[in-house]
Chain A
Amino acid sequence: MSFQDFLNHILSREGVRRLLDAHSSKKYTVKPRRFRNFPTIDPEKCVVCGACADACPVGPSDGKPPALEMTDKGPVLHEDRCIRCGLCAEVCPVSAIQVGTLHEEREEVVKPPKPAEIAVDPDLCIGCGRCERVCPSDAIHVVDGTAEVDRESCVLCEACIDACPVAGAIKLLPMDVEELRRCWTKIVDTKRREVGSR
């Protein structure tokens, strides 16, 4: 910043305010990784079971509601009562409540690997859409004249291969054995750790 800029800043309205008033626009400190903040409730995921309201240690008293109150529309958080203990997030069966710390280890979700995958040859595919119609898990779609497979939802039933009018346009590719073994070892380790931590 040059001297001219500095002078301009001081003489500006914002600069005068800063100079004359207790005011700071800086961010103060960074919240730590494991800090338990006020819980946030995701109304999309919530199944209104009431477990969080049961677990809340701050009970009701005359005139004041509990920190987490169960209403007809779902749990409501009263911030002025909350003590940020995180019990509500711990008991939630569908992980609809987040407080920052307690779900730290659950972020790394390991799914069992699929032994094979469905591959579409874009040169041979004619985009007729038959596979889309027969697919039971809605995993294959025709986009711009070529079928595309969603690996996550594919269940490897091979219905699309049977329905395909062009031989060899849709193929079943088995996975590499070494890689499969590595994936399974990882999963077994994680499961063992989870069981131990419980």
Chain B
Amino acid sequence: MVCCLLKKLKGLIRSRSIHVSVVNTGGCNGCDIEILACFTYRYDLEQYGIYYHNNPRKTDVLIVTGPVTEQWKDKLPKLYDKVPEPKAVVAVGSCACSGGIFNQDGGRVGGGAAEFIPVDAEVPGCPPRPDEIVKAVVEVLPTFFRRWEFERGGGDGR
């Protein structure tokens, strides 16, 4: 009982304070600046307790934008390992979801972030509008962190 309460409390606190790190794995910058726009006045992700912090060692959520280029194929898993648990990965843009327009004949890119690291949420679009990013992030991430403690420990999941 106490353990369950403790887990709930942990999940609650984690879901209220999420640190985000954006990794551009060779995209065209479009998704990056749309994510940056989410942290300014108009869309203001910080009101939901999500803080932009570009240091992978202190972060909870890795936002991946861009197809994974040759140079990033070994570096992205390394970067993922440096993020402490609990962690989530969000792929923003069609490049990060599947390689997008670059993943065809002649391109030297991987097929999206999911081939190299586990991805928890995907936001398609090229680029997605800031309101689509805000919607996806706000709907998925707090729930993910609230349930994480139960799912990892094999709890009842309530």
Contacts and interface: CB of A to CB of B under 8 A. Distances in A.
Whether the complex brings A and B within 8 Å at their CB atoms is answered yes
A28 B100 contact: no
A interface SS class: loop
B104 A58 contact: yes
Contacts, number: 73
Contacts of B142: 21-23
B98 A80 contact: yes
Interface of A: 20-24, 28-29, 31, 35, 38, 57-61, 63-64, 66, 78-84
Interface in B90-145: 94, 97-101, 103-105, 107, 111-112, 122, 124-126, 129, 131, 134-135, 138, 141-142
24 contacts: A20-B12, A20-B16, A21-B12, A21-B15, A22-B16, A22-B49, A22-B141, A23-B48, A24-B138, A29-B129, A31-B129, A61-B105, A61-B107, A64-B99, A64-B103, A66-B104, A80-B98, A81-B94, A81-B97, A81-B98, A82-B94, A82-B124, A82-B125, A84-B126
B130 to A, nearest CB: 8
A82 B126 contact: yes
Given A59-B104, A79-B124, A22 B15 contact: yes
A-B pairs, top 3 by smallest CB distance, nearest first, are A83-B126, A28-B131, A59-B104
A24 B105 CA distance: 42
A59 B18 CA distance: 37
